[in-house]
Amino acid sequence: MVVNSAQAVADRYAEFSWQQARGESEAHEELTARISQDPDFCDFLGASLPPGNKQQPNLLLAAVRYLDGPHADQGPRGDFAYRTWREWTIRHWDDVRDVMMRRLTQTNEPARCATLLPLLARLPQPLALLEVGASAGLCLYPDRYRYRYDDEPEFGAPDSPVVFPCRTSPGTPVPTGLPRIAWRAGIDLNPLDVTDPDDVRWLQALIWPGSTPEAAERQRRQLGAIEAVRQAPPAPLVRGDLLDELPALAAQAPRDATLVVFHTAVLTYLPLERREEFARVVRSALVDRAGHWVSNEHHSALPWLPGPRPADAHRLTLSVDGRPVALTGQHGQSVEWLGEAPQAG
């Protein structure tokens, strides 16, 4: 049962500040902490929004940034800035709420391709990529980007407008070339179009503000990835529920390619019983053909996974067919290899 109360909203913002924003965005950490201590505003949010995903803190923060609210670039810091942000948000609430009801929190982090590539390059080639929770599909194009692992030379698509740097641990099978992609497709509740300026604006609004160069670099890299994908033949992005659409879409993948069903930081939006059902659907889709299930999620999203839980709550666990092989930076910035992955044939 979801309790739609000021205290429930306050608890949600406090948890977001402590568990998600801390160490990632000082501006969002402070802003959500201030909201959690503002009972009148929490009561306003609880009364104005339906319970569940539409009360996600990140959805509100992105909606205000999307609408060019105050302190959109760096985020409000300090008491005066918070009061300015709060006043603006309430005054423009009809517009803010409209964005929140129309949009979803579907951050597309193409730099995660750098953490997927050591695995994808080792699978039997060519690959058929099927991404669940694809957003704008930027992670479906690992062959359209350039990469730099540690101090090694860059490699990748020669005309790519974006380079993804990535730190690795000893033992990581650092790739030296791109995977061969024979087919690609994605599923999302609300697919975004990289040729639509409004959708691109929403993708940019979802990237958290920060005072470090890395925060601004994430926005530049996303725009570079968008430009690279615009130049490629478009992959089909199917609108619908992942459980409903996955079997039919997987059946379309060519049989002479290794089917890779993958997702990154998606399953946390599903209740546990839906995640368990999703695991059954994926395994069923792969049962009679060559393929693998690649998951890059917070460890808590798949609590049945064996192996170590990351000490850093911001890292993701990269697993193949339910077996963890690496811990990864959630923005694609690092890979810590844990074990062997399937070998390319």
**pLDDT tens-digit map of 180-234:** 999 999 999 999 999 999 999 999 999 887 656 677 788 899 999 999 999 999 9
Query: Confidence class of residue 2 from pLDDT cuts 50, 70 and 90?
Result: very low
Determine the Cα angle at 298 with ends 294 and 300, to 5°.
110
Burial class (CB in 10 A: 0-12, 13-18, 19+), 199: buried
- pTM equals 0.91
Count CB-CB contacts under 10 A for residue 23.
10
pLDDT tens-place string over residues 73-120: 667 788 899 999 999 999 999 999 999 999 988 889 999 999 999 999
CB atoms within 10 A of CB 124: 14
Predicted pLDDT of residue 304 = 86
CB 328 within 8 A of CB 335: yes
Average pLDDT over residues 45-50: 94
User: What pLDDT score was predicted for residue 341?
Assistant: 54
pLDDT(142) > 90: yes
Residues 4-17: pLDDT tens digits? 688 999 999 999 99
pLDDT, mean over the chain: 91
pLDDT in tens, 306-339: 876 777 777 899 999 999 999 999 899 999 998 7
Please tell me the predicted confidence (pLDDT) of residue 17. Answer: 92
3-state secondary structure the chain: CCCCCHHHHHHHHHHHHHHHHCCCCHHHHHHHHHHHCCHHHHHHHHHHCCCCHHHCHHHHHHHHHHCCCCCCCCCCCCHHHHHHHHHHHHHCHHHHHHHHHHCCCCCCCHHHHHHHHHHHCCCCCCEEEEEECCCCCHHHCHHHCEEEECCCCCEECCCCCCEEEEEECCCCCCCCCCCCEEEEEEEECCCCCCCCHHHHHHHHHHCCCCCCHHHHHHHHHHHHHHHHHHCCCCCCEEECCHHHHHHHHHHCCCCCCEEEEEEECCHHHCCHHHHHHHHHHHHHHHCCCCEEEEEEECHHHCCCCCCCCCCCCCEEEEEECCEEEEEEECCCCEEEECCCCCCCC
Confidence tier at 55 by pLDDT (50, 70, 90): very high
Exposed e or buried b for every residue in 57-95, given b needs 16+ CB within 10 A?
A: bbbbbbbbbbbebbbeeebbbeeebbeebbebbeebeee
